[in-house]
Structure 1
């Protein structure tokens, strides 16, 4: 009996990238320990690392820890322009944040992510099968270097226009991120993130029809029905983030993991309350207060991230969900507290059963 066309497409994608199951771990910065990727890769899926906050040496160490298990992707944010600083506004924010956590020193907003050029050199040295981008496109010279080394480039996109730009720039695949996704939205223009909130169900087929390269679906997918639907819409694989966060290998705070299992779609919010970039999290007490009409507006990324660092660290130490950076997609309630390999296997069996 011949394969369903959606399964045949997924099978071709898997053959291209050395997978046995078209299930990819999302590259979540700060929530992709090697153990999680190892478990996903050993189950036939694709491991992933969101390397935004990692030094070059940490990137190389992560890759060496995961490589024996199977294929993986390394992901970097494309840097934003330098943020505009407003000392008076930051002082107001520091006073507001002190209501929820420790006093915020004036220099808290001065920090910056690791050097992007050094990180890209580390990606080349790590020689992963796949390098992916989010928040924009890699410079042409770096794309040329990837292609010269036989490394595939996947671009995370949130609109059809971004997908077309990625294809024109040489991307080998696009990861279509619907607005249901947890964590940061991968919008090229940070200022437009809340205006272009296109859901996965509408975004994936529109991008499939617009580009000639494979499309990976992500955002609000955490169980077999959503994954099978994504393949029916034309995707070649699915990428899952929140759906893996309750796995023991993810190692997130127990209060966060438990809350994900209880969450309904309406229990999440998109805000800039943690980093200054739009991101979807659980609607905790801090998020609700930070998005109230009388709250001071957040500082731009990464200033806001620095200002909230003490709050976020204290919340984890105290196990206090109401102050945690508890990223969550709208399908969080489907996330299972089970080993990641079991989650991959059950997802795939469920997808195949639905698509027979």
Structure 2
């Protein structure tokens, strides 16, 4: 019934829907629920220790027989200089005073680890059906080992140039991440946020430029969006924001309140939360210090100094310093169990495509 079954056949899922990996607001519970509904469940691993990844995969394997996707970052680490740290602490000083916090108190460094040899060995051990990457790809030797372990490889592209680069390196599918999408921009061949295209322009051009199936990420909250993705030539979709209000997500009470009030203009692309451009629900820090602030240190170091501020604000049920990543379709989210939401998305998409076909 789907006009393009390449992704279904590739992933061996019921529907051509990928649950987006959303670090910090989900774990195995949401992966299992989405997979039970027929989607490819994705586990965000960049902020997890090897033991935690093992634990989460074990829970997933015990909860569902469906395939699983493990997602990793491929950024190049940048050292935090004393000068950059001091400049950022000075920018945040007023917030520290407001909450009675000592800016000199030690804070654990933000953990967003890039894919490395140890992580590759872990993938070989766990053998997920799919491994996805953000910010490019790891070195060729790692890719060879991942494929030898029997895993498919997919990765995000924010431009046609990035998609072609991924295709040339043998990925099994490309995720076209439009400007509408929530979370960190997957950009790796450009730093020009102002040039980032939306999916209506991006997807057809990527479809024309690559040989592999294309997955659309960004701005999809219901069956109409899925049908539109297929009309643009895609083979499937990756959806994140629509799942944030599911009971299986780990979004805080303050975050859920913000999501419930979300509108089409509620999100912005900002660098103040982590040091790297990402789209999220606008909070106090984004409004007052950004959304793009030159004082923010490089990824992921901007997040470190925010840890005590985030904790203090959340104790007051405020999301002033909480990075709630979400896309422009945030208002289309619903309070449904993830399995039910997945099935409803697929059903409504098929109905829409049937109606359009006459």
TM-score, normalised relative to structure 1: 0.92
Q: Which residue in the other structure is 1:302 paired with? A: 300
The residue matched to 1:250 in structure 2 has which SS? coil
Alpha-carbon distance in 2 for matches of 1:152, 1:31 = 25
Of the candidates 35, 45, 67, which is equivalent to residue 71 of structure 1? 67
Closer/same/farther in 2, CA of residues 175 and 120 from structure 1, 3 Å limit: same
SS of equivalent to 1:48 = strand
318-327 or 273-282, larger mean C-alpha shift:
318-327
> How big is the shift at 1:256?
1.1
By how many angstroms is 1:298 displaced?
A: 1.1
The CA RMSD over aligned residues, in Å, is 2.0
Residue in 2 that maps onto 1:270: 269
Task: Note if contact 1:290-1:296 (Cα within 8 Å) is conserved in structure 2.
Answer: no
Q: Measure, in 2, the Cα distance between the counterparts of 1:160 and 1:115.
A: 24
1:174-224 per-position Cα deviation (integer Å, ceiling 9, x unaligned): 1110111112111115x7152332111111111000000010000111111
SS in 1 for 2:102: coil
The answer to whether structure 1 residue 179 and structure 2 residue 179 are counterparts is yes
Determine if contact 1:158/1:186 at 8 Å carries over to the other structure. Answer: yes
Superposition pairs for residues 42-57 of structure 1, below 5 Å? 42-57=36-51
CA contact (8 A) 1:208 1:215 kept: yes
- 2:324 pairs with 311, 326, 330, which one? 326
How many correspondences in the alignment? 348
Whether contact under 8 Å (1:97, 1:104) holds in the other structure is no
Q: Which runs of 5+ in 2 are unaligned?
A: none
- SS of corresponding position for 2:42: strand
Q: Distance in 1 between matches of 2:291 and 2:164?
A: 36
Find the residue that maps to 2:308 and give its secondary structure: helix
Instruction: Please state whether the residue corresponding to 2:3 is helix, strand or coil.
Output: helix
Matched, 1:58 2:52: yes
Within 2, Cα distance between the matches of 1:97 and 1:163? Answer: 41
Question: Conserved in 2, the CA contact under 8 Å of 1:286 and 1:322?
Answer: yes
CA separation of 1:182 and 1:121: change in aligned 2, threshold 3 A: same
Change (3 A) 1:130 1:323: same
Residue 266 of structure 1: CA displacement? Answer: 1.1
Contact 2:173 2:215 in 1 (8 A): yes
